[in-house]
Amino acid sequence: MKEPVLIVGSMAFDDLEMPYGTFNDVLGGAATYAAISASSFAPVRVVGVVGEDFPAAVLETLASRGVDIAGVERAAGKTFRWHGRYAADLGSRETIHTALNVFADFHPKIPVSYKTSPYLLLGNIHPALQLDVLAQVERPKLVVADTMNLWIHTERKTLRELLGKVDVISINDEEAKDLTGHGMLRKAAEAIRAMGPKRVIIKKGEHGAALFDDDGVFFVPAYPLEELRDPTGAGDSFAGALLGVLASLGRTDGAAIRQAMIIASTVASFGVEGLGPERLLTLDRAALGERLRAFESMMNYGGPLPTLP
């Protein structure tokens, strides 16, 4: 029996202004992306909140993938909604409007049956809520947290308290620089590790991701796509798949995390090929396995390096 992953975070609708058109009511939210990705590998439990407008069919889709949705609260009001506009090359985006709606009063309540979840992903919510989740559960075998610039700038003290209590922080390059003031990733990562997390994963979008831990630095490239359609949720897909793979392996060691990062980067590469999570929902093991072989090839230099000529 594979061990379950508990995911806490936002569930949302996104209105996406893409260079190729505008799309409203796209399924979104960090917990949504992470749960869909993680559920390709392990049982998933989700704690989040949706409004009265959230379709039962979406929850049924999640449930059909082995996602336990007992922790998804349905509150009076509307679902969290993010309206974003992407640049022509999809390399950057701006927020046009954020309507927190029911998410404004989100206080994660961890169901009793979830409290012993061995793998925990704290999605990007207020760090006080992330701490509150940790206070409600038995110490998991592995806690991975995400955060964002907003909390780095407005809730630094609480964020620092959180960092003292997580095993892995997943953060993008700009956030790592903001959090530490260091422009060089190695220095930023070491400064974050000094705040608590044993391992720091720095996400670099189309340039892949880097892990910094006691064993050094490890890089996983991003798969070079023929076409990029929607980068929304790529980091969440990555984190979800990472936890799902680790849970399915029942491991938390550095080698397992390195292997899981490759699989997670592969999953995320499929995610950005579709609008919202649509491609993740149709992803099968054959396609995933085939692209995984390409990842091995991308990192394989044909045996040991020659002794210096």
Query: Which residues bind to its own copies, rule: CB under 8 A?
Result: 2, 41-42, 89, 183-187, 189, 204, 207-208, 210, 215-221, 224-228, 244-245, 248-249, 254-255, 258-259, 261-263, 285, 288-289, 292, 294-306, 308-309
For the bound state, the minimum distance from the C-beta of residue 74 to its own copies, rounded and expressed in Å, comes to: 32
Residue whose CB is less far from its own copies, 58 or 228: 228
d(CA 282, CA 32): 15
For the bound state, the minimum distance from the C-beta of residue 208 to its own copies, rounded and expressed in Å, comes to: 8
Residue whose CB is less far from its own copies, 84 or 208: 208
For the bound state, the minimum distance from the C-beta of residue 305 to its own copies, rounded and expressed in Å, comes to: 6
Sign of the C-alpha dihedral computed for residues 249, 251, 255 and 260 taken in this order: positive
Q: What are phi and psi of 270, to 5 degrees?
A: -70, -40
Edge-to-edge strand ranges of the sheet holding 93-99: 21-28, 12-18, 80-86, 93-99
For the bound state, the minimum distance from the C-beta of residue 219 to its own copies, rounded and expressed in Å, comes to: 4
What DSSP element (H or E) covers 5?
strand 5-8
Q: CB pairs under 8 A, 24+ apart, for 64-69?
A: 65/36, 65/39, 65/40, 66/39, 67/35, 67/36, 67/39, 67/43, 68/4, 68/43, 68/44, 68/114
Is residue 272 within 8 Å of residue 282, measured between CB atoms? no
- Which residues neighbour 73 within 8 Å (Cβ) at sequence distance 6 or greater? 47, 48, 49, 50, 109
For the bound state, the minimum distance from the C-beta of residue 202 to its own copies, rounded and expressed in Å, comes to: 9
For the bound state, the minimum distance from the C-beta of residue 246 to its own copies, rounded and expressed in Å, comes to: 9
Residue whose CB is less far from its own copies, 33 or 218: 218
Residue whose CB is less far from its own copies, 74 or 187: 187
For the bound state, the minimum distance from the C-beta of residue 285 to its own copies, rounded and expressed in Å, comes to: 6
Sign of the C-alpha dihedral computed for residues 121, 123, 125 and 127 taken in this order: positive
Residue whose CB is less far from its own copies, 106 or 295: 295
Please give the distance of CA 182 from its chain centroid, rounded to a whole number.
Answer: 23
Residue whose CB is less far from its own copies, 137 or 228: 228
d(CA 261, CA 289): 14
Residue whose CB is less far from its own copies, 24 or 149: 149
Q: For residue 95, list its beta bridge partners.
A: 84
